[in-house]
Amino acid sequence: MISLIKGIIDRFESDIAVIEVEDGHTLDYPKHLLPKDAEVGDVIKIEGNQFTIDKEETKKRRIEIEGLMNELFED
């Protein structure tokens, strides 16, 4: 059985995607394996060699971060 890895795209370094996984470690994958529309900050699910963007989780995460930024920079 193939296990599911969930992570966040931390950055791209040339043709490598650096993905931060749940335990805080990073994994490097060839960028061409990711969906063409993958961006830094996207939540990604990895099952074997299958990479998919979790659009709902990415949206929730971006809204949460935006809220924290608004709190931080409130006058």
- Taking the complete model, does pTM exceed 0.95, yes or no? no
State the residue range of the domain holding 65.
4-72
Alpha helices in 1-75 (DSSP H): 55-72
Rounded distance between C-alpha atoms, residue 41 and residue 13, angstroms: 14
List phi, psi (to 5°) of 58: -60, -45
Name the 3-class secondary structure at 25: coil
* Number of structural domains in the chain: 1
Q: Which CATH number is 43's domain given?
A: 2.30.30.140
Q: What confidence tens digit (pLDDT) does each residue in 30-63 have? A: 999 999 999 999 999 999 889 999 999 999 999 9
Q: Residue 72 — pLDDT band, cuts 50, 70, 90?
A: confident
